[in-house]
Amino acid sequence: MQLERFDEARDNLKSYLSLAEKAGSHVEQQRALATLGQLYFVQHQTEPQPSDRLISKARNAFLKSLRIVEDNLAETLGEPERAVMKGRLFFNMGLLYDAVENAKAIESFKFALVQFVKHRESREDLCRCLSVLTNIHLRQGNAENALSLAGRLLDIGRETKQPDIKCEAHLLRGAALLQVGDRDEARIAFKHAMRQKTTKREDHEHAVRCVKLSQALRTWDLDLKDAPDVVERVRLHEKAGDALVHCLLQRPALKEYEKAVEEALSRPDTIPSKKLADLYVSLAETCSDVREYESALKYYRLELAVRVDEPDEIALTKLRIAKMLQKTSGKESAEVEDAIREAVTLSRRAGKPSLELECLEELVLVRGKAEDEIQDRIEELRAAGADDTDSSRSSQQSGTLSEIDLNDISDASDSDPEFSDSVRRPRKKLEEKINTKGETKLHKACIDGSLKKVKELLRMGHSVHVRDYSGWQPLHEAANYGNLEIVKCLVEAGANVSSPGMKGVTPLHDTLGNGHLEVALYLLEKGASRTLRTAEGHTPLDILLNWKSENKSQLNSSEEANLQKVEAWLRKAKASSRDSVSLCGPICEDSPWIASQSKRSSAQEGPALIKAADDWLEDDLAKPKSKPRRLAEPELPVTRKRNRSTESSFSTKIMRIDEEESATEESDDAEVMDTADSIEQEELPFVAGTPHKEIPATPSPSPCKSIIASAGSNSSLRVRILNTLFLIPLPKGTGSARTVGWLAAEASKRYQDFQGTRPVLRMTLPDGALLDQSDSIDSLLQGPCTEVIGQVESWDLPPLAERYRSECERKNVLACANFASALQPCVESGDFTIPCFSIGNIDLFFRALRHQDPLHTLDISGTVLTPSAMTTLCECLVTLHSLNYLGLKCTGLKGNYLDIAVQSLQKAQVQLQCSELELSYNPIGNEGGSALTSLLAHTPRLRTLRIESCSFTDPGSYVRCLKTLEALYIGFNALSVDALDRLSLVLDDNPLQVLDLSGCFTGEMVRVGEALASFLAKAKCKLVEIGIGCCGLTDGDISALCASVAGGTLSKLDITASPGISYECIEDLSHKLSGVKIFSDHSACDCCL
């Protein structure tokens, strides 16, 4: 059947049915009839024209099979098996009825649904039934029923944890939501579908198309609000309809086409008749897709009424009308043949042989036979190649969606309270999607010069005031690159034309430094300040004159005229200036970074000072530092400068070079505050706006001791949480309305943005005085203290699995599903033991694990660590106060990794609280010995240490700092006799009971037994267990050892892997050491004798 050899398959099935009847097996008869029905149905689907004969045979076979199930299998099979059989038969009959457009299809699927629900294990059949039934309701426009069925399908997908089912369910939900008009929720559903790890490639590709569609629909909706005329609105509605059809969403597409026709008919004088005819065709074809053939006929006839002088299109419409008439009136209708004949004549007149061939073949099918004349014409057209595919009529909707970048789709509304696959998380701001430099999509669009993208982002609500990590706003970027239209767009959207960026560089400074004179004139017309100075004291006129001296010889007449206008404007401002001030000298609360002492010339001109309450202050708290801009030559007082060369045009050559990000160590006392209050005035000359290196901001000393930080019209409060200082902006006049509780919540939120965990704070003053949650902030503003202390009482932590997924989402990496599912049992037991678990980005898990309490065991043995992962692990360990066991065996630890651990502990000024440490099988080596000693010094409660096979030659010297050690495992480290002597000092300083020296000596070492006997004689009164296997011991060594351990507290002796020891020697040893359990290679004596 799969090979489409239907005759052979039918003969075999009939033979099988005959054998089943002779054997009297009703089960096999039912199976044969059901398969035979499927054969007829599949054959019907492969036929070029519908076959009533095959449909009838398939239906009869299914009914016979169903009758056997009802009448003959009640006593043979149980109810669940019979329910599955009946369900599958009803399902196949539903498919059959739906193929021939019989109204009984829905009824059959409902019967099947009832049977599958009875037998809960048939989930696959139930899902198929729900999916097909949902699609039928969508096609018929019953969106509410479709939404309900898709929800049931999604529930099953979640219960079975099958991404294929969940992907399909989300797609169906999105389609149903589009039908009811909820495009935002539909977009969320499509995004959920796209994120499923489905094995069906076509489903994933369909989900991607739907996500792009939802983004396009949102953009087109915004464009419709600004559409200036009917022509544009018609174009947008038609475009939306085409895209919806491309994504197989015909019902919503119908609405768009209807709106387009309605708009076109409202102003028929502005819409060409050809465009209106095309809209009618789109409506008719979409109606045909949803099986509304009467409506399709109506629109085709409306098309013919307006279409003129296009015989090929009229012929095609006549052919479509004939096909619709066959659906509504049958092939016998005279109107069908008349329409086809007209189509043949018109296609011949239009010179379209492929269309003529299609019409003639349709005529033969309607008549049931071919006349000689018609048959000859058909063969002639085929010989001429008229049956080749006409690619000119292929759909073009995919181009619309292929232009959409998935990275541009915001996560701002990516939550669904009812159907979300994960716990709901806070929504993000639109501008939070940034790159490593802190640039938002609006920054990037301005840099790329994409006016269309800028307008789209502004319509979506992106802020024009957001700054990157260096303080540049989108207007700075547009001015720097000379994009006049983008500058106009930003200014009209509310951008501040005099807003200072890094080092006081305004957009006017930027554009003058690059010679964009038209942009400069526009900014001056909009009120840009002509006298504001950069941090080095350069005015816009200084920048212009420097640029003029370098480029005057290359200017054309137009540029020369613009230069004179700008220079005259700036010189006029200099003559009447009263607001120029020097910015040299230290910064304090009484001396703002950029000052102005006179009124501005335009109401549109904004403050020269960056307010502490600006959006970019909050964004900076949670973001890493961007790639710094380069320092240009100190003697050039110009902005982010571009080079002019004789080979490049004036308006296009721009140089912006960024160096690689330099690694900077964080201060122990990190201070997160507003750039305007924290940047220290540098003595190095600054090239205003030139690609330059950003000097790390350090707080400048101030003689003022008040906690009020001056920032324009705002006040600020400094809050210290652990070793981090935060600046909390407070708008002026709101102190009495704000309480200490609000301050604690705000500080807690900023700490979470900065460190990833949210503390529960109790606010105190530095002298220890407690503050009540209801206290007004006014009392703090008027006090003498320099800061407020946020004491961490506890941590407000979501479940560990959720925190892990959140960290992965924050870094835009895929969370390991198996790993996330394994976290919950570990949380419940307090023991995280998942050895040899291979997981990428393990550092994200360590970040999520911080402050997990209680956590008694952390064993990640076999998980290879990188230096960055080790750093994150150590930052995590200092927050785990209930940890008893830390297992890092076979994780690739090196000596420098232990240095990282020591530095983290010293920085945090805490001790490791674990009592057992496992570091075995790591290439630490002697070069890491001192680091190991320092690490052990920070582990005062350690009782068990395992450092087996770590390439140590003198482990005793590394562990002498310990005083509480009870068990030491140092096997398979090559020791010398001198190293063994130094190890005896560890026995003196610690209450050691267990010592494992397995594999520490080889047979080549002279007098191993004597060395071990001498060592063990010193510890015989203390050691309970001794391991000296795999040390090349012989019978002679055993006699020496026996005397050294006899009479002590020893209860276990391990001498396995010692082939040099005979059975007789072991037997003699067992008699001498009565009560000691001896482990050896001779199993007969491995017991207590």
* 319-328, 672-681, 1070-1079: least confident range: 672-681
Under 8 Å between Cβ of 717 and 673: no
Q: How far is it, in rounded angstroms, from Cα 975 to Cα 973?
A: 6
Q: Find the mean pLDDT for residues 623-643.
A: 37
Q: How far is it, in rounded angstroms, from Cα 238 to Cα 224?
A: 12
Tokens of 795: 């941590």
What 8-state DSSP symbol labels residue 995?
A: E
User: So what's the pLDDT on residue 479?
Assistant: 92
Return the closest-CA partner of residue 171 out of 200, 160, 161: 200
Count CA within 13 A, CB hemisphere, residue 44.
22
User: So what's the pLDDT on residue 996?
Assistant: 92
Q: How far is it, in rounded angstroms, from Cα 732 to Cα 830?
A: 48
Q: Find the mean pLDDT for residues 279-293.
A: 90
The 3-state secondary structure of 518-567, one letter per residue: HHHHHHHHCCCCCCCCCCCCCCHHHHHHHHHHHHHHHCCHHHHHHHHHHH
Q: How far is it, in rounded angstroms, from Cα 929 to Cα 952?
A: 8
13: how many CB neighbours lie within 10 A of its CB?
20
Integer CA distances (angstroms), 796 to 29, 126, 428, 746, in order: 65, 42, 20, 14
For residue range 933-984, list pLDDT tens digits in order: 999 998 988 999 999 999 999 898 899 888 899 999 999 998 888 888 888 8
Q: Find the mean pLDDT for residues 865-881.
A: 87
Tokens of 822: 């394994």
* 441-455, 477-491, 960-974, 1049-1063: least confident range: 1049-1063
Q: How far is it, in rounded angstroms, from Cα 291 to Cα 294?
A: 9
Q: Strands of 724-731's sheet, edge to edge? A: 670-672, 724-731, 714-721, 788-796, 758-764
Residue 182: pLDDT band (50, 70, 90) is confident
User: So what's the pLDDT on residue 407?
Assistant: 52
Q: What residues form DSSP beta bridges with 776? A: 739
Radius of gyration from C-alpha coordinates of the chain = 41
Cα 801–chain centre separation: 16
Count CA within 13 A, CB hemisphere, residue 310.
16
Q: How far is it, in rounded angstroms, from Cα 477 to Cα 629?
A: 13
**Residues 6 or more apart from 1067 whose CB is under 8 A from it?**
1085
Handedness of CA 942, 947, 951, 957 (dihedral sign): positive
More confident residue, 396 or 647: 396
Q: Find the mean pLDDT for residues 991-1001.
A: 89
Tokens of 138: 């969508």
For residue range 709-719, list pLDDT tens digits in order: 333 334 678 89
* 432-446, 668-682, 791-805: least confident range: 668-682
Q: Find the mean pLDDT for residues 163-184.
A: 88
b/e sequence 19-43, b meaning 16+ C-beta within 10 Å: ebeeeeebbebbbbbbbbbbbbbbb
The yes-or-no verdict on residue 763 having pLDDT over 50 is yes
Q: How far is it, in rounded angstroms, from Cα 718 to Cα 706?
A: 10
Reported for 391-399, long-range contacts at CB under 8 A and 24+ positions apart, including other chains, are: 395/242, 395/245, 395/246, 396/242, 397/242, 397/243, 397/245, 397/246, 398/209, 398/246
Q: Give the chain's mean pLDDT.
A: 76
User: So what's the pLDDT on residue 418?
Assistant: 38
Residue 932: pLDDT band (50, 70, 90) is very high
Backbone torsions φ then ψ of 796, nearest 5 degrees: -90, 95
b/e sequence 44-81, b meaning 16+ C-beta within 10 Å: beeeeeebeebbebbbebbebbbebbeeebeeebeeee
Backbone torsions φ then ψ of 820, nearest 5 degrees: -65, -40
Q: How far is it, in rounded angstroms, from Cα 530 to Cα 532?
A: 6
For residue range 369-412, list pLDDT tens digits in order: 777 788 888 888 888 776 654 434 444 444 455 555 555 454 43
440: how many CB neighbours lie within 10 A of its CB?
24
Q: Find the mean pLDDT for residues 5-24.
A: 82
User: So what's the pLDDT on residue 1019?
Assistant: 62
Tokens of 1015: 């060592």
Type of residue at 531? T
Under 8 Å between Cβ of 464 and 477: no
Q: How far is it, in rounded angstroms, from Cα 1055 to Cα 1032?
A: 10
Q: Find the mean pLDDT for residues 874-897.
A: 88
Residue 585: pLDDT band (50, 70, 90) is very low
Tokens of 508: 């006017």
User: So what's the pLDDT on residue 397?
Assistant: 45
The yes-or-no verdict on residue 560 having pLDDT over 70 is yes
Q: How far is it, in rounded angstroms, from Cα 321 to Cα 346?
A: 14
Percent of the residues in the chain that have a pLDDT greater than 70, as a whole number: 76
Q: What angle do CA 101, 102, 106 make, to 5 degrees?
A: 105
Q: Which residue has the tokens 């502005």?
A: 270
Q: Tell me the H-state helices in 850-894.
A: 867-877
Q: How far is it, in rounded angstroms, from Cα 845 to Cα 1033?
A: 46
Under 8 Å between Cβ of 398 and 245: no
Longest alpha-carbon distance in the chain: 120
Helix axes 104-118, 123-140, angle to 10 degrees: 150
Residue 885: pLDDT band (50, 70, 90) is very high
The yes-or-no verdict on residue 550 having pLDDT over 60 is yes
* 314-318, 334-338, 874-878: least confident range: 334-338
Count CA within 13 A, CB hemisphere, residue 850.
22
Integer CA distances (angstroms), 681 to 504, 531, 675, in order: 11, 20, 12
* 529-533, 676-680, 1042-1046: least confident range: 676-680
User: So what's the pLDDT on residue 924?
Assistant: 93
Q: Find the mean pLDDT for residues 299-314.
A: 87
Integer CA distances (angstroms), 62 to 67, 128, 790, in order: 9, 18, 75
User: So what's the pLDDT on residue 610?
Assistant: 34
The yes-or-no verdict on residue 63 having pLDDT over 60 is yes
Q: Find the mean pLDDT for residues 130-145.
A: 88
Q: How far is it, in rounded angstroms, from Cα 38 to Cα 94?
A: 12
For residue range 344-355, list pLDDT tens digits in order: 888 888 888 888
Question: Residue 972: left (phi > 0), alpha (psi -120 to 50), or beta?
Answer: left
User: So what's the pLDDT on residue 401?
Assistant: 57
Under 8 Å between Cβ of 880 and 858: yes
**Residue length, the chain?**
1089
Tokens of 805: 């997924």
The yes-or-no verdict on residue 593 having pLDDT over 70 is no
User: So what's the pLDDT on residue 337?
Assistant: 84
Under 8 Å between Cβ of 451 and 493: no
**Residues 6 or more apart from 821 whose CB is under 8 A from it?**
801
* 819-828, 846-855, 1044-1053: least confident range: 819-828
The yes-or-no verdict on residue 649 having pLDDT over 60 is no
Residue 48: pLDDT band (50, 70, 90) is low
What 8-state DSSP symbol labels residue 601?
A: S
User: So what's the pLDDT on residue 1005?
Assistant: 66
